[in-house]
Structure 1
Amino acid sequence: MLLIKLIGSALIITSTTLIGFCYGGKYTDRLNNLIYLEQCFKILETEIVYGANPLPEALSNVYKKGNKKVSFIFQEIKNHLQRSKKGNLYQSFSSIEWILKNRLNLKEEDIEIILSLGRVLGSSDRLDQEKNFNFIFKQMELLQKDAKIDRDRNERLYKNLGILSGIAILIILV
Protein backbone atom coordinates (compact mmCIF):
# COMPACT_ATOMS: atom_id res chain seq x y z
CA MET A 1 0.00 0.00 0.00
CA LEU A 2 2.86 2.35 0.80
CA LEU A 3 4.45 1.64 -2.58
CA ILE A 4 1.23 2.59 -4.40
CA LYS A 5 1.05 5.87 -2.46
CA LEU A 6 4.67 6.68 -3.31
CA ILE A 7 4.16 5.92 -7.00
CA GLY A 8 0.95 7.97 -7.07
CA SER A 9 2.66 10.86 -5.30
CA ALA A 10 5.56 10.77 -7.75
CA LEU A 11 3.14 10.75 -10.69
CA ILE A 12 1.20 13.73 -9.34
CA ILE A 13 4.31 15.82 -8.72
CA THR A 14 5.83 14.81 -12.06
CA SER A 15 2.71 15.62 -14.04
CA THR A 16 2.10 19.01 -12.43
CA THR A 17 5.78 19.89 -12.81
CA LEU A 18 5.69 19.00 -16.51
CA ILE A 19 2.57 21.10 -16.98
CA GLY A 20 4.31 24.03 -15.30
CA PHE A 21 7.39 23.59 -17.48
CA CYS A 22 5.22 23.45 -20.63
CA TYR A 23 3.46 26.69 -19.77
CA GLY A 24 6.73 28.35 -18.77
CA GLY A 25 8.44 27.18 -21.95
CA LYS A 26 5.94 29.07 -24.10
CA TYR A 27 7.54 32.33 -23.03
CA THR A 28 10.99 31.17 -24.11
CA ASP A 29 9.56 29.86 -27.37
CA ARG A 30 7.96 33.24 -28.11
CA LEU A 31 11.24 35.07 -27.57
CA ASN A 32 13.22 32.61 -29.68
CA ASN A 33 10.64 32.69 -32.47
CA LEU A 34 10.70 36.49 -32.56
CA ILE A 35 14.49 36.40 -32.90
CA TYR A 36 14.27 33.81 -35.68
CA LEU A 37 11.57 35.83 -37.46
CA GLU A 38 13.72 38.93 -37.37
CA GLN A 39 16.55 36.96 -38.96
CA CYS A 40 14.17 35.72 -41.66
CA PHE A 41 12.97 39.28 -42.28
CA LYS A 42 16.59 40.37 -42.72
CA ILE A 43 17.08 37.62 -45.29
CA LEU A 44 13.87 38.74 -47.02
CA GLU A 45 15.09 42.34 -47.02
CA THR A 46 18.36 41.26 -48.62
CA GLU A 47 16.53 39.23 -51.25
CA ILE A 48 14.10 42.02 -52.15
CA VAL A 49 16.06 45.25 -51.68
CA TYR A 50 19.57 44.23 -52.62
CA GLY A 51 19.03 41.08 -54.69
CA ALA A 52 15.98 42.44 -56.55
CA ASN A 53 14.50 38.94 -56.65
CA PRO A 54 10.81 38.40 -57.43
CA LEU A 55 8.71 37.86 -54.34
CA PRO A 56 8.01 34.11 -54.76
CA GLU A 57 11.70 33.43 -55.27
CA ALA A 58 12.62 35.65 -52.31
CA LEU A 59 10.12 33.82 -50.08
CA SER A 60 11.52 30.49 -51.20
CA ASN A 61 15.07 31.63 -50.44
CA VAL A 62 14.02 32.76 -46.95
CA TYR A 63 12.57 29.31 -46.38
CA LYS A 64 15.83 27.69 -47.44
CA LYS A 65 18.21 30.03 -45.60
CA GLY A 66 16.25 30.79 -42.43
CA ASN A 67 15.81 28.80 -39.26
CA LYS A 68 13.36 26.00 -40.03
CA LYS A 69 11.45 26.57 -36.79
CA VAL A 70 9.92 29.68 -38.34
CA SER A 71 11.01 29.86 -41.97
CA PHE A 72 8.35 27.34 -43.00
CA ILE A 73 5.79 30.15 -42.80
CA PHE A 74 7.43 31.86 -45.77
CA GLN A 75 6.94 28.69 -47.81
CA GLU A 76 3.28 28.70 -46.70
CA ILE A 77 2.94 32.32 -47.81
CA LYS A 78 4.53 31.51 -51.17
CA ASN A 79 2.25 28.49 -51.68
CA HIS A 80 -0.85 30.50 -50.81
CA LEU A 81 0.25 33.31 -53.11
CA GLN A 82 0.73 30.89 -56.01
CA ARG A 83 -2.54 29.02 -55.37
CA SER A 84 -4.69 32.13 -55.27
CA LYS A 85 -3.82 33.94 -58.47
CA LYS A 86 -6.10 36.89 -57.76
CA GLY A 87 -5.20 37.16 -54.07
CA ASN A 88 -2.92 39.82 -52.76
CA LEU A 89 0.10 39.46 -50.51
CA TYR A 90 -1.77 40.57 -47.38
CA GLN A 91 -4.25 37.70 -47.81
CA SER A 92 -1.33 35.29 -48.07
CA PHE A 93 0.19 36.69 -44.90
CA SER A 94 -3.14 36.54 -43.07
CA SER A 95 -3.53 32.89 -44.12
CA ILE A 96 -0.74 31.96 -41.68
CA GLU A 97 -2.25 33.84 -38.73
CA TRP A 98 -3.40 30.61 -37.05
CA ILE A 99 0.10 29.11 -37.38
CA LEU A 100 1.69 32.20 -35.86
CA LYS A 101 -0.65 32.15 -32.92
CA ASN A 102 -0.80 28.46 -32.10
CA ARG A 103 2.45 26.90 -33.33
CA LEU A 104 4.84 29.79 -32.73
CA ASN A 105 3.22 31.10 -29.50
CA LEU A 106 3.07 34.68 -30.75
CA LYS A 107 0.79 37.31 -29.28
CA GLU A 108 -1.66 39.48 -31.22
CA GLU A 109 0.73 42.45 -31.36
CA ASP A 110 3.47 40.20 -32.78
CA ILE A 111 1.11 38.90 -35.45
CA GLU A 112 -0.03 42.42 -36.31
CA ILE A 113 3.56 43.49 -37.05
CA ILE A 114 3.99 40.51 -39.38
CA LEU A 115 0.68 41.26 -41.10
CA SER A 116 1.69 44.91 -41.50
CA LEU A 117 4.73 43.71 -43.44
CA GLY A 118 2.32 41.88 -45.75
CA ARG A 119 0.39 45.10 -46.31
CA VAL A 120 3.41 47.15 -47.40
CA LEU A 121 5.60 44.54 -49.07
CA GLY A 122 5.82 44.95 -52.82
CA SER A 123 3.72 48.09 -52.93
CA SER A 124 6.53 50.58 -53.56
CA ASP A 125 10.07 50.95 -54.86
CA ARG A 126 13.20 49.51 -53.26
CA LEU A 127 14.03 52.61 -51.22
CA ASP A 128 10.60 52.63 -49.60
CA GLN A 129 10.83 48.87 -49.05
CA GLU A 130 14.10 49.41 -47.18
CA LYS A 131 12.42 52.05 -44.99
CA ASN A 132 9.54 49.66 -44.30
CA PHE A 133 11.93 46.90 -43.31
CA ASN A 134 13.84 49.24 -40.98
CA PHE A 135 10.55 50.18 -39.32
CA ILE A 136 9.65 46.49 -38.91
CA PHE A 137 13.09 45.77 -37.41
CA LYS A 138 12.63 48.51 -34.81
CA GLN A 139 9.23 47.13 -33.90
CA MET A 140 10.63 43.58 -33.69
CA GLU A 141 13.34 44.84 -31.34
CA LEU A 142 10.70 46.31 -29.03
CA LEU A 143 8.68 43.08 -29.17
CA GLN A 144 11.79 41.08 -28.28
CA LYS A 145 12.43 43.30 -25.25
CA ASP A 146 8.81 42.82 -24.19
CA ALA A 147 9.07 39.05 -24.70
CA LYS A 148 12.26 38.93 -22.63
CA ILE A 149 10.57 40.79 -19.78
CA ASP A 150 7.57 38.42 -19.98
CA ARG A 151 9.86 35.40 -20.03
CA ASP A 152 11.89 36.58 -17.04
CA ARG A 153 8.75 37.33 -15.07
CA ASN A 154 6.52 34.38 -15.97
CA GLU A 155 8.70 31.41 -16.83
CA ARG A 156 9.94 30.82 -13.29
CA LEU A 157 6.46 31.54 -11.95
CA TYR A 158 4.84 28.74 -13.98
CA LYS A 159 7.63 26.28 -13.28
CA ASN A 160 7.43 26.89 -9.54
CA LEU A 161 3.65 26.91 -9.65
CA GLY A 162 3.68 23.47 -11.27
CA ILE A 163 5.89 22.02 -8.55
CA LEU A 164 4.03 23.71 -5.71
CA SER A 165 0.59 22.73 -7.00
CA GLY A 166 1.76 19.08 -7.09
CA ILE A 167 2.88 19.35 -3.49
CA ALA A 168 -0.40 21.03 -2.53
CA ILE A 169 -2.41 18.26 -4.15
CA LEU A 170 -0.37 15.69 -2.24
CA ILE A 171 -0.94 17.49 1.05
CA ILE A 172 -4.69 17.60 0.39
CA LEU A 173 -4.81 13.91 -0.54
CA VAL A 174 -2.70 12.73 2.37
Structure 2
Amino acid sequence: MKWIGAIILLCATTWGGFEFARRLTERPKQIRQLKNAMQVLEAEILYGQSPVTVACEKVSQQIPAPMSWFFKEFSDALKQPSASLYDVWEEKLNHYWAMSSLGEGEKEIMRQFGQTLGQHDFAGQQKHIRLALSHLERELEESQEQQQRYSNMVKSLGFLTGLLIILLFI
Protein backbone atom coordinates (compact mmCIF):
# COMPACT_ATOMS: atom_id res chain seq x y z
CA MET A 1 0.00 0.00 0.00
CA LYS A 2 2.94 2.33 0.74
CA TRP A 3 4.31 1.82 -2.72
CA ILE A 4 1.04 2.69 -4.42
CA GLY A 5 0.86 5.91 -2.41
CA ALA A 6 4.50 6.65 -3.26
CA ILE A 7 3.88 6.17 -6.98
CA ILE A 8 0.77 8.40 -6.85
CA LEU A 9 2.72 11.10 -4.99
CA LEU A 10 5.59 10.89 -7.46
CA CYS A 11 3.19 11.13 -10.40
CA ALA A 12 1.42 14.13 -8.84
CA THR A 13 4.58 16.13 -8.19
CA THR A 14 5.99 15.26 -11.61
CA TRP A 15 2.71 16.38 -13.21
CA GLY A 16 2.91 19.63 -11.21
CA GLY A 17 6.39 20.29 -12.57
CA PHE A 18 5.30 19.60 -16.14
CA GLU A 19 2.22 21.82 -15.72
CA PHE A 20 4.33 24.72 -14.47
CA ALA A 21 6.73 24.20 -17.39
CA ARG A 22 3.77 24.23 -19.78
CA ARG A 23 2.68 27.60 -18.41
CA LEU A 24 6.22 28.90 -18.94
CA THR A 25 6.03 27.70 -22.55
CA GLU A 26 2.54 29.09 -23.16
CA ARG A 27 3.33 32.58 -21.86
CA PRO A 28 5.50 33.74 -24.81
CA LYS A 29 2.99 32.28 -27.24
CA GLN A 30 0.11 34.15 -25.63
CA ILE A 31 2.11 37.40 -25.49
CA ARG A 32 2.69 37.09 -29.25
CA GLN A 33 -1.05 36.54 -29.72
CA LEU A 34 -1.74 39.61 -27.59
CA LYS A 35 0.68 41.68 -29.66
CA ASN A 36 -1.02 40.44 -32.83
CA ALA A 37 -4.40 41.38 -31.37
CA MET A 38 -3.17 44.88 -30.57
CA GLN A 39 -1.90 45.29 -34.13
CA VAL A 40 -5.23 44.15 -35.56
CA LEU A 41 -7.02 46.50 -33.16
CA GLU A 42 -4.81 49.35 -34.33
CA ALA A 43 -5.62 48.61 -37.97
CA GLU A 44 -9.35 48.38 -37.29
CA ILE A 45 -9.48 51.62 -35.31
CA LEU A 46 -7.14 53.71 -37.46
CA TYR A 47 -7.65 52.45 -40.98
CA GLY A 48 -11.08 50.86 -40.76
CA GLN A 49 -12.28 53.65 -38.45
CA SER A 50 -14.42 51.12 -36.63
CA PRO A 51 -15.89 51.86 -33.21
CA VAL A 52 -14.28 49.98 -30.31
CA THR A 53 -17.12 47.45 -30.11
CA VAL A 54 -16.86 46.49 -33.77
CA ALA A 55 -13.04 46.61 -33.76
CA CYS A 56 -12.83 44.21 -30.81
CA GLU A 57 -15.33 41.86 -32.41
CA LYS A 58 -13.21 41.79 -35.58
CA VAL A 59 -10.08 41.19 -33.51
CA SER A 60 -11.75 38.20 -31.84
CA GLN A 61 -12.47 36.72 -35.27
CA GLN A 62 -8.88 37.10 -36.49
CA ILE A 63 -6.82 35.77 -33.60
CA PRO A 64 -6.74 32.29 -32.06
CA ALA A 65 -8.14 31.27 -28.71
CA PRO A 66 -7.60 31.96 -25.85
CA MET A 67 -6.95 35.63 -26.74
CA SER A 68 -10.04 35.77 -28.93
CA TRP A 69 -12.28 34.96 -25.94
CA PHE A 70 -11.24 38.13 -24.12
CA PHE A 71 -11.98 40.42 -27.06
CA LYS A 72 -15.26 38.65 -27.88
CA GLU A 73 -16.52 38.90 -24.29
CA PHE A 74 -15.40 42.52 -24.11
CA SER A 75 -17.19 43.40 -27.34
CA ASP A 76 -20.38 41.64 -26.24
CA ALA A 77 -20.35 43.36 -22.84
CA LEU A 78 -19.93 46.79 -24.46
CA LYS A 79 -23.21 46.30 -26.26
CA GLN A 80 -25.01 46.58 -22.92
CA PRO A 81 -26.25 50.16 -22.52
CA SER A 82 -25.20 50.71 -18.90
CA ALA A 83 -21.57 49.64 -19.26
CA SER A 84 -18.67 52.07 -19.26
CA LEU A 85 -15.76 51.10 -21.43
CA TYR A 86 -13.07 50.99 -18.74
CA ASP A 87 -15.24 49.15 -16.20
CA VAL A 88 -16.05 46.46 -18.75
CA TRP A 89 -12.38 46.26 -19.80
CA GLU A 90 -11.29 45.83 -16.17
CA GLU A 91 -13.96 43.23 -15.44
CA LYS A 92 -13.17 41.11 -18.50
CA LEU A 93 -9.44 41.48 -17.91
CA ASN A 94 -9.76 40.13 -14.37
CA HIS A 95 -12.04 37.31 -15.51
CA TYR A 96 -9.82 36.28 -18.42
CA TRP A 97 -6.47 36.49 -16.67
CA ALA A 98 -7.21 33.51 -14.45
CA MET A 99 -7.59 31.36 -17.57
CA SER A 100 -4.40 32.50 -19.30
CA SER A 101 -0.71 31.86 -18.79
CA LEU A 102 0.04 35.57 -18.90
CA GLY A 103 1.74 37.32 -15.99
CA GLU A 104 1.05 40.38 -13.91
CA GLY A 105 3.28 42.54 -16.13
CA GLU A 106 1.10 41.89 -19.16
CA LYS A 107 -2.03 42.46 -17.08
CA GLU A 108 -0.78 45.86 -15.94
CA ILE A 109 0.08 46.84 -19.53
CA MET A 110 -3.42 45.87 -20.65
CA ARG A 111 -5.01 47.64 -17.66
CA GLN A 112 -3.19 50.86 -18.52
CA PHE A 113 -4.11 50.49 -22.18
CA GLY A 114 -7.77 50.02 -21.20
CA GLN A 115 -7.70 53.38 -19.42
CA THR A 116 -6.83 55.11 -22.69
CA LEU A 117 -8.98 53.04 -25.06
CA GLY A 118 -11.57 55.22 -26.74
CA GLN A 119 -10.38 58.37 -24.95
CA HIS A 120 -8.30 59.98 -27.71
CA ASP A 121 -8.37 60.85 -31.38
CA PHE A 122 -6.87 58.46 -33.95
CA ALA A 123 -3.29 59.75 -33.58
CA GLY A 124 -3.43 59.61 -29.79
CA GLN A 125 -4.95 56.15 -29.85
CA GLN A 126 -2.22 54.97 -32.19
CA LYS A 127 0.45 56.27 -29.79
CA HIS A 128 -1.10 54.37 -26.90
CA ILE A 129 -1.33 51.18 -28.95
CA ARG A 130 2.32 51.54 -29.99
CA LEU A 131 3.31 52.13 -26.37
CA ALA A 132 1.47 48.99 -25.27
CA LEU A 133 3.13 47.03 -28.09
CA SER A 134 6.60 48.17 -27.02
CA HIS A 135 5.88 47.15 -23.41
CA LEU A 136 4.57 43.78 -24.60
CA GLU A 137 7.76 43.29 -26.64
CA ARG A 138 9.81 43.78 -23.49
CA GLU A 139 7.63 41.28 -21.62
CA LEU A 140 7.98 38.81 -24.50
CA GLU A 141 11.76 38.92 -24.32
CA GLU A 142 11.64 38.41 -20.56
CA SER A 143 9.22 35.49 -20.83
CA GLN A 144 11.36 33.76 -23.48
CA GLU A 145 14.38 34.11 -21.24
CA GLN A 146 12.47 32.65 -18.29
CA GLN A 147 11.23 29.78 -20.43
CA GLN A 148 14.73 28.88 -21.58
CA ARG A 149 16.17 29.21 -18.10
CA TYR A 150 13.55 27.46 -15.99
CA SER A 151 11.50 25.07 -18.14
CA ASN A 152 13.69 21.96 -17.84
CA MET A 153 14.61 22.77 -14.26
CA VAL A 154 10.94 22.92 -13.18
CA LYS A 155 10.21 19.56 -14.78
CA SER A 156 13.12 17.95 -12.96
CA LEU A 157 12.26 19.70 -9.72
CA GLY A 158 8.74 18.28 -9.75
CA PHE A 159 10.06 14.75 -10.05
CA LEU A 160 12.84 15.28 -7.51
CA THR A 161 10.49 16.88 -4.98
CA GLY A 162 8.24 13.83 -5.15
CA LEU A 163 11.22 11.56 -4.75
CA LEU A 164 12.44 13.52 -1.71
CA ILE A 165 9.03 13.37 -0.03
CA ILE A 166 8.85 9.62 -0.66
CA LEU A 167 12.30 9.09 0.81
CA LEU A 168 11.41 11.13 3.89
CA PHE A 169 8.29 9.06 4.54
CA ILE A 170 9.82 5.64 3.92
TM-score (norm 1): 0.87
Please tell me whether residue 50 in structure 1 is matched to residue 40 in structure 2.
no
* Alpha-carbon distance, 1:92 to partner: 1.5
Q: Verify the 8 A CA contact 1:40 1:67 in the aligned structure 2.
A: no
| 1:141 corresponding residue in structure 2 | 137
2:147 maps to a residue whose letter is R
| 1:35 corresponding residue in structure 2 | 32
| 2:124 corresponding residue in structure 1 | 128
Cα-to-partner distance string for 1:8-54 (whole Å, 9 max, x where unaligned): 44333222110111122222222221111111111111111111112
Give the 3-state SS of the residue equivalent to 1:80 in structure 2.
helix
Give the 3-state SS of the residue equivalent to 2:100 in structure 1.
coil
Alpha carbons of 1:34 and 1:100: their partners in 2 closer, same or farther (altered >3 Å)? farther
Equivalent pairs counted in the alignment come to: 170
| 1:103 corresponding residue in structure 2 | 99
Q: Which runs of 5+ in 2 are unaligned?
A: none
1:117 maps to a residue whose letter is F
Q: Which has more radius of gyration?
A: 1
2:30 maps to a residue whose letter is N
* Alpha-carbon distance, 1:5 to partner: 5.6
Give the 3-state SS of the residue equivalent to 2:66 in structure 1.
helix
Runs of 4+ in 1 over 6 A off after TM superposition: none
CA distance in 1, matches of 2:57, 2:106: 22
**Cα RMSD for the two superposed structures:** 1.8
| 1:112 corresponding residue in structure 2 | 108
2:164 maps to a residue whose letter is A
2:154 maps to a residue whose letter is Y
| 2:147 corresponding residue in structure 1 | 151
Please tell me whether residue 66 in structure 1 is matched to residue 82 in structure 2.
no
Give the 3-state SS of the residue equivalent to 2:79 in structure 1.
helix
| 2:18 corresponding residue in structure 1 | 21
Alpha carbons of 1:30 and 1:99: their partners in 2 closer, same or farther (altered >3 Å)? farther
Q: Which runs of 5+ in 1 are unaligned?
A: none
- Sequence identity (%): 25
